[in-house]
């Protein structure tokens, strides 16, 4: 007869087999997530063996040889940091100096709001993290609010506010016929939204359209927001990258501040300092007074604590070193202008090439739009032809990343676009 221990062992073995089986069935209901449309473009581009292939899908700056760039000011900052930094945790709100420098960039060197300590601000995980932190903050403290998002917008905005469980509404932005701003409809939507609505605005270089309101239009939008008591949340992912001048690119924000709006702002150093993978950014919220700002900041930290505790240190140190040193800051200003100028130059080259080929279509929008992207004029079917016949890769909405256009490929690209749009 089997001993008690042997029987127990047998039972245990049987149970652990059943256990293993049930463990492997925990995730059987999980379907693969849909592919990210932008990352899918890069995958297809990498898999294409053609020597002619061109990637104008990627949202990161490339030099005139199509290569990623590390700015010289960043290299120098790294040399200065090397060997000196420790690996201690940053405070929950991130690097105080990094946040100070970010605020000066967005709100102005001599901003009264900064002097009066009226801005609650924390270091964030780049622009995406700043938007997400704000969306969570909005949900926690204004649980019944919605967010108005422009059509179209950077696709991740929808994911961010969806995952923060904030209901989304949309407002008119792009006018397909003129490939410009649908200002009249935008203003109607602002007027018709319930008083005190939250609106997401791109501070400059609207993604994906490259269409920004003029200064005059921003003034009218700001005025209408004031009347309606709306909350403007600015996503500023491209400060300096649009015009080449960070001050000029902050104009929309400054107009709203002049009008006394209590804005929110997401800043990113991914594009303008080329710190894509470092994930360094800032979330700021203008408050009524210092007391309110202390409270708001403490709540932002409280939100960050269970998500990631505190942000990474290396990128923050690079930003602080560059912006905190007048010589390095000047170098950065020159380099950011260099990136913007190369992109603006490529806009003119692409338009000129298309016009030289005798295209009867209007390509004016290429040079009217600003920032990294050129939008409009290509149908999904034409994009498919560009990919299948010419090995040119972009998202099917026809968004061309001007960062991928170089003196070496602009003629080839123009010719292909001309062929598919004849």
Ligand X SMILES: Cc1ncc(COP(=O)(O)O)c(C=O)c1O
With respect to ligand X, which residue has the nearer C-beta, 256 or 373? 373
User: 270 vs 336, which CB is nearer to ligand X?
Assistant: 270
Size of site (CB under 6 A) for ligand X: 13
Q: How far is the CB of 26 from ligand X (least distance, A)?
A: 32
* Distance between CA atoms of residues 228 and 127, nearest Å: 27
Site for ligand X in 184-203 (CB under 6 A): 202
Q: Of 106-114, 121-129, 175-183, 321-329, which part binds ligand X (CB under 6 A)? A: 121-129
Nearer to ligand X, 147 or 270 (CB): 270
Verify binding: residue 207, ligand X, rule CB under 6 A. yes
* Least CB distance to ligand X at residue 25 (A): 36
Nearer to ligand X, 154 or 173 (CB): 154
Q: In the window 275-294, what residues touch ligand X (CB under 6 A)? A: 276, 281
Return the number of the residue (62 or 202) whose C-beta is nearest ligand X.
Answer: 202
Q: Quick count: other Cβ atoms within 10 Å of Cβ 234?
A: 23
Q: In angstroms, give the least distance from the CB of 353 to ligand X.
A: 26
Minimum distance, C-beta of residue 52 to ligand X, in the bound complex (Å): 27
Positions annotated as catalytic residues are 154, 235, 271
Rounded least distance, CB 403 to ligand X, Å:
11
Binding segment for ligand X (CB under 6 A), chosen from 126-134, 209-217, 330-338, 407-415, is 126-134
**Counting contacts by CB under 6 A, is residue 107 touching ligand X?**
no
Residues 216-235 binding ligand X (CB under 6 A) are 235
Among 57, 94, 127, 213, which residue sits at the site for ligand X (rule: CB under 6 A)? 127
**Nearest approach, Cβ of 160 to ligand X (angstroms)?**
9
283 neighbors 247 (Cβ within 8 angstroms): no
- Alpha carbon dihedral 314, 319, 322, 324, in 10-degree steps, equals -110
Residue 270 as a binder of ligand X (CB under 6 A): the answer is: yes
CA dist., res. 406 & res. 346, Å (int): 7
Q: Which of 61, 154, 173, 174 binds ligand X (CB under 6 A)?
A: 154
The smaller minimum CB distance to ligand X, of residues 268 and 353, is found at 268
Of 236, 225, 180, 164, residue with least CA distance to 199 = 225
Considering only residues 102, 123, 126, 284, which one is a binding residue for ligand X as defined by CB under 6 A?
A: 126
Binding ligand X (rule: CB under 6 A), the pick from 123, 197, 268, 321 is: 268
Q: Looking at beta carbons only, is 62 or 391 nearer to ligand X?
A: 62
Distance CA 336, CA 329 (A): 10
Residues numbered 365-394 forming contacts with ligand X, rule: CB under 6 A: none
- Shortest CB 285 distance to ligand X, Å: 17
Residue 206 CA to residue 188 CA, distance in Å, equals 20
Closest by CA position to 138, among listed 83, 180, 56, 199: 199
CA atoms within a 13 Å half-sphere pointing along the CA-CB vector of 413: 25
Contacting residues toward ligand X, per CB under 6 A: 59, 126-128, 154, 202, 207, 235, 237, 268, 270, 276, 281
């Amino acid at each position: 007869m089997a001993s008690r221990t042997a029987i127990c062992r047998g039972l245990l073995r049987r149970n652990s087999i059943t256990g293993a089986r049930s463990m492997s069935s925990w995730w059987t209901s999980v379907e693969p997530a849909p592919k990210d449309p932008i990352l899918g473009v890069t995958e297809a581009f990498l898999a294409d063996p053609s020597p002619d292939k061109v990637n104008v899908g990627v949202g990161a700056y490339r030099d005139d040889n199509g290569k990623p760039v590390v700015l010289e000011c960043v290299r120098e900052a790294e040399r200065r940091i090397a060997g000196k930094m420790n690996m201690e945790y940053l405070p929950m709100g991130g690097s105080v100096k990094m946040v100070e420098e970010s605020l000066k960039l967005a709100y102005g060197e001599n901003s009264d709001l900064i002097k009066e300590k009226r801005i609650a601000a924390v270091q964030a995980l780049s622009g995406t993290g700043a938007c997400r932190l704000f969306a969570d903050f909005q949900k926690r403290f204004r649980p019944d609010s919605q967010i108005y998002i422009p059509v179209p917008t950077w696709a991740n905005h929808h994911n961010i506010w969806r995952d923060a469980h904030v209901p989304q509404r949309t407002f008119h932005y792009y006018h397909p016929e003129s490939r410009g701003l649908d200002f009249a409809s935008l203003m109607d939507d602002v007027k018709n939204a319930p008083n005190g609505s939250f609106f997401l605005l791109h501070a400059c270089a609207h993604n994906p359209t490259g269409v920004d309101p003029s200064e005059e239009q921003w003034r009218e939008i700001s005025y209408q927001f004031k009347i309606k008591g709306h909350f403007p949340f600015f996503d500023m992912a491209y400060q300096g990258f649009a015009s080449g001048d960070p001050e000029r690119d902050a104009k929309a924000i400054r107009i709203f501040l002049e009008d006394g709006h209590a804005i929110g702002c997401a800043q990113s150093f991914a594009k303008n300092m080329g710190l894509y993978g470092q994930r360094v950014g800032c979330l700021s919220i203008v408050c009524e007074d210092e007391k309110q700002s202390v409270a708001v900041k403490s709540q932002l930290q409280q939100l960050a604590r269970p998500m990631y505790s505190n942000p990474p240190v290396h990128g923050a140190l690079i930003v602080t070193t560059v912006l905190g040193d007048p010589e390095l800051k000047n170098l950065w200003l020159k380099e950011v202008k260099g990136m913007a100028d190369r992109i603006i130059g490529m806009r003119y080259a692409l338009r000129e090439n298309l016009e030289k080929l005798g295209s009867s279509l209007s390509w004016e929008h290429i040079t009217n739009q600003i920032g990294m992207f050129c939008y409009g004029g290509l149908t999904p079917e034409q994009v498919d032809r560009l990919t299948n016949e010419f090995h040119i890769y972009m998202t099917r909405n026809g968004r061309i990343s001007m960062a991928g256009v170089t003196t070496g490929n602009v003629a080839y690209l123009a010719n292909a676009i001309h062929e598919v749009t004849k």
